[in-house]
Structure 1
Amino acid sequence: MTTLATHRVRRTSDLPGYISHPDFSEPRATQTYAPQTLLTDCENYDTKYMPDEVTREHAKRMHFAAYRAHIARTVAERARWLTAYHKLRDRVVLGNRKLIYRAVRRRMEYQNRADDMIGECYIVLIQVVAAFNPWLNVRFSTYAYTCLVRALSRSSRRLATDWLSRSLSFESLPDGEPGGRVDAESSLSSGSLQLDEYLRDSHPLLSDREKAIIVRRFSLGDSTDGSTLEQVGEAVGLSKERVRQVQATAIGKLRMALGSDSDGI
């Protein structure tokens, strides 16, 4: 499989970007990458999963269609290739949408935002399809799922950060009894970069124990769900009440630090 000869061409104001391949300039390229070969097949990927090898072939033709749109000499020719590009892209998105639901199910602590998360993931999946290089030896399902999980982790981190950054009182926090989850429902916040800095291993504001408890308690890790006080205690080897005390101390430090760095927090 050829990989080294491909390169990415950036999108313009009215045309999508694409992965360029040397074969695109060959005389038989239009036959080799003809979109209609796939668009007219009898498979209905609106209702079934698209295998990786089929996704790869769709992606090759999608990038070729974008290439032809970029070099088109007439408005009609450009429109024809853009139509083919969008049909191929959307077919891949629909055929791989089960990856969205797999990724969302990982974020069980935010099931009250499931519909919003699914909507966000569709946007991410469209971007992933457009960026996927089918000439690399990478499975689309693996690549896309990783991108979706990372996007959801960033979104969840921003939500939790915003909640933690507000004027939380220690008394308002859940008591952490079994079945109780931290409710991180809030709008996105630009304060996440500040909190990230304080949670770095090298930052002296919090002790290692305080960082570990805050990360686990408020779902600030890439793969960690928000945990109750009891669950955090089991993970770090402390009693539930001791976790509550350490958490209170850490939140106090963070509130003071965030308050000195940002207006209105």
Structure 2
Amino acid sequence: MNGALFFAELPPTEQLDVSSLLARKIAFIDGLDYTATADDDLTDLHLDRNSVLSADAELRIFTQMNRCYYYAAKFHNRDDGDADPIGEDSFVRELMRGDELRNQLLLVFHKLTVSIAKNFVSSRHSLEELVSEGNAALIRAITLFDPSRGFRFSTYSTYAIRRCLARYVSSSQHTYATPVDFRSAPPLADQRRWTLPYQHAMESGVEWLESALYELTARERYIVRCRFGWGREFEPRTLQEIAAELGVSRERVRQLEAKAIQKLRQIASGMDIANL
């Protein structure tokens, strides 16, 4: 598809198996105020599989998708005493529109799944097989993502897809990964104590941080990597060493480091890691 967001004209309700639609479990994010959220037809957005969503477009699409599912669920869970239930036609329209928005997001972020899956290709696992598994994780991430938390969907979904594929590859080799307890990780402010090599750290279950780093500015990301040796090409360095390289004061580096760590704290607190 190339062009504006497209919503197919729905057939008359009597031609649909509404009972099967009612049997669906309809999920939406609880944290959004749907009564204060206006309907957005999104007709100004032009999407295809090569699109890169802006933060604003991403927020709008996810918000509208969840809004549709919210109103569909309102009918699904209606009470006979409800003074303002939506009608059956509205239920079908909202549910189908939510599905189309979800499918648009799958189309746009499919390339992310492919990019991550390529890192897991081996003689045992073809790219097609891995993409299929990764897309299952992508669908789940789309369902669970809360756009009001303030971070980008790519950060959230990259972690989910990587974790899914790592588990899939591991299980097919008859070795089962131990579930990660993120509560055992030291607070981000204490990262100076982390001396694990990059690969070891990634395998220890903190791969979400590699994705979260890209929510920072380029300078903040560089400072974090230099301070904590986060990356194959980085060794832990002092504030003074980084300041000399960047041509700024030691205090300025300290401020940028503190700002970056605060951002990472907010991302970590906002990501529902346990549900991915």
Q: TM-score, normalised by structure 1?
A: 0.51
Change (3 A) 1:54 1:14: same
Query: Gapped runs of 5+ residues in structure 1?
Result: 1-11, 163-191, 198-215, 224-265
Structure-2 change in CA distance of 1:158 and 1:76 (3 Å)? same
SS across alignment from 2:29: strand
Shift of 1:111: 6.9
Tell me, in whole angstroms, the C-alpha distance in 1 between the residues paired with 2:127 and 2:154. 21
Deviations 1:101-137 (A, max 9, x none): 1211221435742111101111211111111000002
The within-5 A match list for 1:219-230 is: none
Aligned partner (choices 29, 34, 45) of residue 24 of structure 1: 34
Within a 5 Å distance, the mapping from 1:61-140 to structure 2 comes to 61-72=64-75, 73-109=86-122, 112-140=125-153
- Partners of 2:174 and 2:57 lie apart in 1 by 40
Q: 1:150 aligns with which of 135, 150, 163?
A: 163
Relative to structure 1, the CA distance from residue 119 to residue 81 in structure 2 (aligned partners, 3 Å threshold; closer, same or farther) is: same
**8 Å contact kept, 2:45–2:57:** no
The alpha-carbon deviation at position 222 of structure 1 amounts to 6.6
> Secondary structure at 1:109's aligned position in 2?
coil
Q: Does 1:56 align with 2:59?
A: yes
What is the rounded CA distance, in whole Å, between the counterparts of 1:33 and 1:107 in structure 2? 41
Aligned partners of 1:56 and 1:140 also within 8 Å: no
Identity of paired residues, percent?
Answer: 18
Counterpart in 1 of 2:191? none
Q: Structure 2: which 5+ runs fail to align?
A: 1-21, 76-85, 180-199, 207-276
Query: What is residue 241 of structure 2 aligned with on the other side?
Result: none
Determine the C-alpha separation between the residues in 2 that align with 1:110 and 1:155. Answer: 15
Q: How many residues align?
A: 154
Contact 1:33-1:60 within 8 A present in 2 as well: no
Query: In the aligned structure 2, how far is the partner of 1:75 from the partner of 1:138?
Result: 35
Amino acid at match of 1:53: D
Contact 1:65 1:81 in 2 (8 A): yes
RMSD (CA atoms): 2.9
Q: CA 1:154/1:110 → structure 2, altered by over 3 Å: closer, same or farther? A: farther
Whether 2:51 is the aligned partner of 1:45: answer no
CA distance in 2, matches of 1:111, 1:131: 30
Q: Amino acid of the residue matched to residue 57 of structure 2? A: V
Separation in 1, partners of 2:149, 2:113: 23
Aligned AA for 1:81? E
2:169 is aligned with 1:159? no
